[in-house]
Chain A
Amino acid sequence: MTDRSRDVARGGEPAEVRDGSAGLSRRAFLKGAGGVAAAGSVFRAEVEAGRAQAEADAGLEGTVTVEFVLNGTPERVKVEPRTTLLSALRHHLARPATGTKEVCDQGNCGACTVLVDDEPVYACMTLAVKAAGKRVRTVEGLTGTDGLSAVQAEMWAADGMQCGYCTPGFVMSLTACLEKNPEAGPEELRAACSGNLCRCGTYTQVFEAGLAVARAGRKSR
């Protein structure tokens, strides 16, 4: 068994994840990188911090079995404890659920938003083990008329997508917001989407879709 860092903090502390994945700890880097002055000097960038972490986490070796209910269906997945819910969904399920997207992998963009027991969470910032015994809902699991939920249908009508890569995240954020308050107003909807980024610039249509669902919610009361 070789030395490996066990990044159990992944999902909880993005800064550490980033330091680790650069193959160089931030401390080691800053020490060695004294600007242009450092030019010419040779130094070894070893993952000391990562190694220490791996030793500390020796108890976490191997895999654990996580059971949760995904879109109404019981799922059981064997993952290492460090595995994020996003990775479990996208890579480790027997039938990967790839509707949920990975964009920033550090909680900045909301593309991986899923509902865990009806609460919207960033799946990239949530360990898979945290979902054990819970209900996980993703964009694949929303249902309604013709296979589309009200949010999905209004997103379609308003053209709330372009490239579509952020779209699952927006659908889930709007869904969570409108399930809590079926009559949500424009500011509430905008705030609900403030953790989601779209590069194509479809925000206006997303808000429109949310408002259309809310209007229907008011009418049906």
Chain B
Amino acid sequence: MSPAHAAELEIDSAMTLNQVKVGCDAQIRLLSGPGCDRLRDLGFCEQLQVRKIAGGRNLICSICGTRMAISRELAEQVLVSPLA
């Protein structure tokens, strides 16, 4: 299996930030979508850990010690893998 293929598989198994349970930690795998530049400016970068604090219309998550409120549409563009 080629490394590129492995990466793809990993992304397939990843979930979006919307699907993470409230109170859980996750590691950001990939940003994809029109809002990703904006998300990166705010600190949503690959490899970083994020904790979802609240869900709903907009979700709140904690990243690098800062709480950010982002819309569901933006959270949809953040692919993460949950951490135990």
Partners in one complex: no
| B residues whose Cβ falls under 8 Å from a Cβ of A | none
